[in-house]
């Protein structure tokens, strides 16, 4: 089958490479000429485990192509996936201008039936707006349809998720659209045995925002409980373990920490709240999720401040710049809150991340980026853990203590255990667990 994907970012590139791998012929379109040049030179613009191999193989066998031309993309295939960004707008609402532009451009260039599939995360009833725009910009009475196919992949495990989704959700309102999308996904369904859910378009659009808001709510819930643990002497690890074994709750997304970030949760939760108000329902429940999330990082900053007393002139080793391990994505990463905050307090920063340093450097070109955690911690008055990279687990704690000026570790991801840090003589504060004084 021929498929066009418009928007070749984290979602578009992973989807394009996956579709090519299962046998489709895919044209990935992006209006960022530099990105398309890189891809045509087989340079992969993002870090995602296993992606490079898929892109190279399918580019070389001719099933995966890249272009800057929406005209070419519109001509290439009957099914066109929209995977452009939907970043936050001025008031926190989802900015739909990129999606709208793709609609206009496809309408301008099409000469026979096209199915436009919303893979970008959009607010409910976007399909109606998109259809309205397409009708206005079509040169003649050419048939088209809109479908919704929200994406649930997790950055850091995106290739695995693309081949082994928990489920595939499609919103379709005609047999023709349903048949086309079943044909797209048939190889993944038969390979993975996943559930394939067909529903109306509004339900599919809403499912995505409801999922992300629910997961964010789980994170804020456990973070709120972690605060009660700190006040009462309970231990969040034990509480979360006890909760997670309840099959009705489940263990995932019950890890207390500095709060959620990334390119999806903050903006999607915000968009969900705004959208619900527009439709006449006040989602105060989710507003509280947002408040707890912001408070959590401020809480971690207060812990650092408390141990240092004065932050000015102190050297802080910041461990982790990506919003989570396994990705170089720094959008809404906790580091983007802590770094400016610490700089404004005249701290001296040393930064480490295994893959996100280049992205961070674009915003902060003149900071001190280090090649290893030990190098980063050398001479530091305190270490601040913001991303739970597996490399941290393998650290030689005796060596870490020796290289630091003061053995203070403030752990926003609970990567160490208080007992282990006590044994090694650190002053250690984490989330929802006893503080180690030594």
Ligand X SMILES: NC(=O)c1ccc[n+]([C@@H]2O[C@H](COP(=O)([O-])OP(=O)(O)OC[C@H]3O[C@@H](n4cnc5c(N)ncnc54)[C@H](O)[C@@H]3O)[C@@H](O)[C@H]2O)c1
Enumerate the active-site residues: 264
Query: Which of 138, 427 has the CB closer to ligand X?
Result: 138
What is the nearest approach in angstroms of ligand X to the Cβ of residue 118?
9
Query: Which of 297, 331 has the CB closer to ligand X?
Result: 331
Which residue of 67, 121, 293, 387 would you call a contact of ligand X, by CB under 6 A? 121
Give the residue carrying structure tokens 């108000």.
277
Q: Is 110 in the site for ligand X (CB under 6 A)?
A: no
Q: Number of C-alpha atoms within 13 angstroms, CB side, residue 216?
A: 30
Options 20-28, 147-155, 162-170, 333-341: segment touching ligand X (CB under 6 A): 147-155
Q: Which residues contact 8 (CB under 8 A, 6 or more apart)?
A: 16, 28, 29, 30, 32, 35, 36, 39, 66, 83
Q: Is 9 in the site for ligand X (CB under 6 A)?
A: yes
Size of the site for ligand X (CB under 6 A): 27
User: Which of the residues 259 through 298 are near ligand X (CB under 6 A)?
Assistant: 263-264
**Please, are residues 26 and 7 in contact by the beta-carbon 8 Å criterion?**
no
DSSP letters spanning 348-400: EEEEE-SS-HHHHHHH-TTSEE-SSHHHHHTT-SEEEE-S--HHHHT--HHHH
Neighbours of 213 (CB within 10 A): 22
The rounded distance, in Å, linking the Cα atoms of 22 and 186 is: 9
What is the nearest approach in angstroms of ligand X to the Cβ of residue 291?
22
Q: Is 156 in the site for ligand X (CB under 6 A)?
A: no
What is the nearest approach in angstroms of ligand X to the Cβ of residue 277?
20
The token duo for 242 is 């006890």
Q: Which residue is nearest to ligand X (CB)?
A: 9
User: Which of the residues 37 through 96 are near ligand X (CB under 6 A)?
Assistant: 70, 83-86
Options 5-13, 355-363, 376-384, 395-403: segment touching ligand X (CB under 6 A): 5-13
Q: What helix, strand, coil percent values describe the chain, rounded to 5? A: 45, 15, 40
Q: Is 102 in the site for ligand X (CB under 6 A)?
A: yes
The rounded distance, in Å, linking the Cα atoms of 18 and 28 is: 12
Binding site for ligand X (CB under 6 A): 6-12, 29-32, 35, 70, 83-86, 98, 101-102, 120-121, 151, 153, 155, 263-264
């Amino acid at each position: 089958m021929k498929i066009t994907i418009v928007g070749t970012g984290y979602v578009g590139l992973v989807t394009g490479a996956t579709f090519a791998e299962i046998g489709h012929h895919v044209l990935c379109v992006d209006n960022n000429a530099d990105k398309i040049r890189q891809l045509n030179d087989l340079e992969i613009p993002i870090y995602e485990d296993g992606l490079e191999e898929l892109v190279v193989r399918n580019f070389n066998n001719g099933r995966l192509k890249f272009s800057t031309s929406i005209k070419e993309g519109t001509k290439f295939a009957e099914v066109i996936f929209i995977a452009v960004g939907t970043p936050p707008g001025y008031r926190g609402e989802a900015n739909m201008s990129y999606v709208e532009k793709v609609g206009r451009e496809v309408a301008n260039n099409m000469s026979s039936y096209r199915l436009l599939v919303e893979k970008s995360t959009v607010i409910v009833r976007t399909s109606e707006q998109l259809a309205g725009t397409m009708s206005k910009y079509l040169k003649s009475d050419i048939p088209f349809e809109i479908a919704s196919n929200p994406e649930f992949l997790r950055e850091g495990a995106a290739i695995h998720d693309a081949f082994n989704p928990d489920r595939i959700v499609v919103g379709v309102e005609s047999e023709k659209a349903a048949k086309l999308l079943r044909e797209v996904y048939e190889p993944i369904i038969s390979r993975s045995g996943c559930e394939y859910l067909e529903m109306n378009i509004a339900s599919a659009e809403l499912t995505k925002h409801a999922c992300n808001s629910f997961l964010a709510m789980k994170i804020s819930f456990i973070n709120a409980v972690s605060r009660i643990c700190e006040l009462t002497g309970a231990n969040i690890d034990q509480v979360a373990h006890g909760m997670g074994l309840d099959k009705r709750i489940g263990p995932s997304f019950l890890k207390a920490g500095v709060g959620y970030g990334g390119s999806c949760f903050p903006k999607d939760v915000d968009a969900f709240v705004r959208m619900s108000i527009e439709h006449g329902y006040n989602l105060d429940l989710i507003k509280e999720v947002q408040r707890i999330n912001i408070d959590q990082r401020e809480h971690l900053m207060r812990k650092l401040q408390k141990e240092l007393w004065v932050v000015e002139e102190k050297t802080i080793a910041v461990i982790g710049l990506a919003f989570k391990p396994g990705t170089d994505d720094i959008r809404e990463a906790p580091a983007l809150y802590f770094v400016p905050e610490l700089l404004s307090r005249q701290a001296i920063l040393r930064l480490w991340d295994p893959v996100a340093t280049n992205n961070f450097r674009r915003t902060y070109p003149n900071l001190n980026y280090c090649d290893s955690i030990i190098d980063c911690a050398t001479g530091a008055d305190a270490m601040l853990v913001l991303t739970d990279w597996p490399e941290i687990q393998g650290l030689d704690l005796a060596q870490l203590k020796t290289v630091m000026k003061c053995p203070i570790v403030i752990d926003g991801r609970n990567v160490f255990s208080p007992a282990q840090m006590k044994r090694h003589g650190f002053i250690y504060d984490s989330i929802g667990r006893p503080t180690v004084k030594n």
